Structure 1
Amino acid sequence: MELKNNYLSASTIYSELALKKSELANIDKKELEKSYFEKSDSVNEYSKYDEKDYERVLNRFKSSDSEVKNHEQLHASMGTTTTPIRYDYQMGPDGKLYATGGSVRFDTSIPKDEAGAMQKLDELQKAASSPDGLSRADLGIAHSANLNKMLLQSIQEGAIL
């Protein structure tokens, strides 16, 4: 019988511990909710910034948006594309979306005739390297087009069979 009493008392202790853990978890949950509410209850999140900071950041977003769009539109106007221009957007401090990056897919198929191939490679090289501030992808396309032109010229001259 003594064994049963020890077992019951241990069981009672474990159940009391579980109850206390549950109570502590509820208190922690309430404290977390309270702190979250206090953080999100601020009147204006941007009130700690002055108007000059806000305008400076907003102007950077606007400037980046126009630069990215001009860059990608210049690419698209100089070469044949296979898809529409794709832009990456980020929300500015005013809640509007601004372009922060973009890409254009060029038609990189090369015609079988040598004159058409040379013309297409010239077009690709110009389209990829036309804007200022070239990206790695821009440089890669321009470099590949230039290498292919050199290869094609070598074949035309009979240096490579």
Structure 2
Amino acid sequence: MDIGLNTLYDIGSNYSVKLNDKERLVYEDDPLRKQKTPQEKKLEKEEEKKEVKKSSNELSQDEKRLVLDLQSRDAEVHAHESAHQSGGASTGAATYTYQQGPDGKMYAIGGEVSVSFQSGSTPQETIANAQAVIASALAPADPSGQDMAVASSAMVMMMKAQQQLSRETQEAVLGKETYKNEADKSNNTQTGVTELDIPA
């Protein structure tokens, strides 16, 4: 087995073994694996922040333009998802997709809000729920294709509930008319019986 000079072997978390000039094994502290104290970590973070500030001041024109575009998109995405949440349907928390800009900051470039649609125990309840979902889906100034699909599905559910409500109303009206017709027939039959001459 060939072992070259200064070859490192890992023998623990903070130590390494290497061969010295005389090809003897030596144990040394591994500077790459050394645990940092809280003070060292704090200083390192402060240095990173300074570097980010420096680099943001040193952005090229294209990078500055990209940062402005990302800031604009971030504001647009947050406004879009907030509009969904204020639409009236029961919604979950917004989740965002982020992109890191050249300035080191994270910007929202996409987002979504889950909308809960439940059919009600009555057609009226289902219609009210569907209207709330439609309002939430179409609340943003510029609804996306997904927003339009959700609104469309809710409209279908609403139309089915309206048809069911119409059927129930029609059956109730027809039921009353049927009852009235049956009652009228019954009254006529009773009146007819009393008017009949029965031979003795």
TM-score (norm 2): 0.52
Given residue 121 of structure 1, which amino acid in structure 2 is its aligned partner? Answer: A
Alignment partner, residue 78 of structure 2: 69
Which of the pair is proportionally richer in helix? 1
Alignment partner, residue 104 of structure 2: 95
TM-score (norm 1): 0.64
Q: Determine which structure has greater relative contact order: mean sequence separation of CA pairs < 8 Å that are 6+ residues apart, divided by chain length.
A: 1
- Give 1 or 2 for the bigger CA radius of gyration: 2
- Cα contact 2:124–2:161 (8 A) shared by 1: no
> Deviation string for 1:61-91 (max 9, x for gaps)?
0000000000001101113345311000000
> Deviation string for 1:37-68 (max 9, x for gaps)?
xxxxxxxxx9xx97432221111000000000
Alignment partner, residue 145 of structure 2: 136
1:111 maps to 2:151: no
Alignment partner, residue 145 of structure 1: 154
Output the aligned Cα RMSD. 2.4
Unaligned runs of 5+ in 2: 1-54, 172-200
Aligned length: 114
Q: Distance in 2 between matches of 1:138 and 1:60?
A: 23
Given residue 147 of structure 1, which amino acid in structure 2 is its aligned partner? Answer: V
> Deviation string for 1:5-64 (max 9, x for gaps)?
xxxxxxxxxxxxxxxxxxxxxxxxxxxxxxxxxxxxxxxxx9xx9743222111100000
Secondary structure at the counterpart of residue 116 of structure 2: coil
Alignment partner, residue 37 of structure 1: none
Larger CA deviation: 58-67 vs 105-114: 105-114
Which of the pair is proportionally richer in strand? 2
